Amino acid sequence: MYAQFFGLAHAPFSIAPDPRYLYMSERHREALAHLLYGVGGGGGFVLLTGEIGAGKTTVCRCFLERIPKRCNVAYIFNPKLTVEELLRTICEEFQVPIEHLGTGTATLKDHVDALNAFLLRMHSIGRNNVLIIDEAQNLSPDVLEQLRLLTNLETHERKLLQIILIGQPELRRMLRRPELEQLAQRVIARYHLRALDMKETAAYVRHRMGVAGLTTPLPFDRGALKRIHQLSRGVPRRINLLCDRALLGAFATSQARVDAAIVERAAHEVFDEEEPFDERPRGWWHALRAGRRGPWLPAAAALSAGLGLAGLGYAAWTLARQDAPPVAAAALPTPAAPAPAASTPP
Backbone angles phi, psi at 256, to 5 degrees: -80, -15
- Answer yes or no: is 315 within a domain: no
Domain closes at, from 236, 270, 304: 270
Asked if residue 221 and residue 174 are part of one domain, the reply reads no
First-to-last C-alpha distance (Å) of the chain = 28
Per the structure, the count of domains in the chain is: 2
Residues 33 and 48 in one domain: yes
Residue 340 lies in a domain: no
Q: Confirm if 189 and 41 have CB atoms less than 8 A apart.
A: yes
pLDDT score for 297: 37
Q: Are 58 and 17 in contact (CB under 8 A)?
A: yes
* pTM across the whole model: 0.75
- Supply the CATH number for residue 266's domain: 1.10.8
Identity at 325, one-letter amino acid code: P
Examine the domain organization and report whether 103 and 207 are in the same domain: no
Residues 33 and 176 in one domain: yes
**How much is the pLDDT for 299?**
40
Pairing of strands 187-193, 128-133: unpaired
Domain final position from 270, 294, 324:
270
Range of 33's domain? 26-193
Whole-number Å distance between alpha carbons of 162 and 155 = 13
pLDDT at 304: 42
Are 73 and 64 within 8 A, CB to CB?
yes
Identify whether residues 131 and 207 lie together within a single domain: no
**Alpha-carbon 311 to chain mean position:** 25
135 closest CA partner among 50, 24, 16: 50
Residue 309 maps to a domain: no
71 residue type, one letter: C
pLDDT value for 292: 36
pLDDT for 16: 84
Q: What is the CATH number of the domain that holds 168?
A: 3.40.50.300
Q: How wide is the angle at C-alpha 324 spanned by C-alphas 322 and 328, nearest 5°?
A: 105
Answer yes or no: are the C-beta atoms of 159 and 70 closer than 8 Å.
Answer: no
Pair 265, 183 in one domain: no
- Same domain assignment for residues 76 and 173: yes
- Whether 86 is covered by a domain: the verdict is yes
Q: Which of 237, 270, 303 is the last residue of a domain?
A: 270
Tell me what pLDDT residue 59 has.
Answer: 93
Same domain, 235 and 120: no
Same-domain pairing of 78 and 175: yes
Assigned domain for 143 exists: yes
Give me the pLDDT at residue 337, please. 52
Residue 172 lies in a domain: yes
| Dihedral sign for Cα atoms in the order 320, 229, 251, 340 | positive
d(CA 50, CA 58): 12
Question: Do 177 and 214 sit in the same domain of this protein?
Answer: no
Domain membership flag for residue 281: no
pLDDT tens track, the chain, 346 positions: 899 999 999 999 998 888 889 899 999 999 999 999 888 777 789 999 999 999 998 899 899 999 988 999 999 987 889 999 999 999 999 999 998 777 778 899 999 999 999 999 999 999 999 999 999 999 999 999 999 999 999 888 888 999 999 999 999 999 999 999 999 999 999 999 999 999 999 999 999 999 999 999 999 999 999 999 999 999 999 999 999 999 999 999 999 999 999 999 999 999 975 544 444 444 433 433 343 333 333 444 444 444 444 444 444 444 444 444 444 333 445 555 554 444 444 3
In a domain? residue 327: no
Question: Does residue 181 sit in the same domain as residue 225?
Answer: no
Burial zone of 201 (CB within 10 Å; 0-12 exposed, 13-18 middle, 19+ buried): buried
Say whether both 7 and 71 belong to one domain: no
How confident is the model at residue 336, as a pLDDT?
A: 54
Question: 3-state SS string over the chain?
Answer: CCCCCCCCCCCCCCCCCCHHHCCCCHHHHHHHHHHHHHHCCCCEEEEEEECCCCCHHHHHHHHHHHCCCCEEEEEECCCCCCHHHHHHHHHHHCCCCCCCCCCCCCCHHHHHHHHHHHHHHHHHCCCEEEEEECCHHHCCHHHHHHHHHHCCCECCCCECCEEEEEECCHHHHHCCCHHHHHHHCCEEEEEEECCCCHHHHHHHHHHHHHHCCCCCCCCECHHHHHHHHHHHCCCHHHHHHHHHHHHHHHHHCCCCCECHHHHHHHHHHHCCCCCCCCCCCCCHHHHHHCCCCCCHHHHHHHHHHHHCHHHHHHHHHHHHCCCCCCCCCCCCCCCCCCCCHHHCCC
Q: Please, how many CA atoms are within 13 Å of residue 107, restricted to the half-sphere of its CB?
A: 7
- 8 A C-beta contact, residue 83 and residue 108: yes
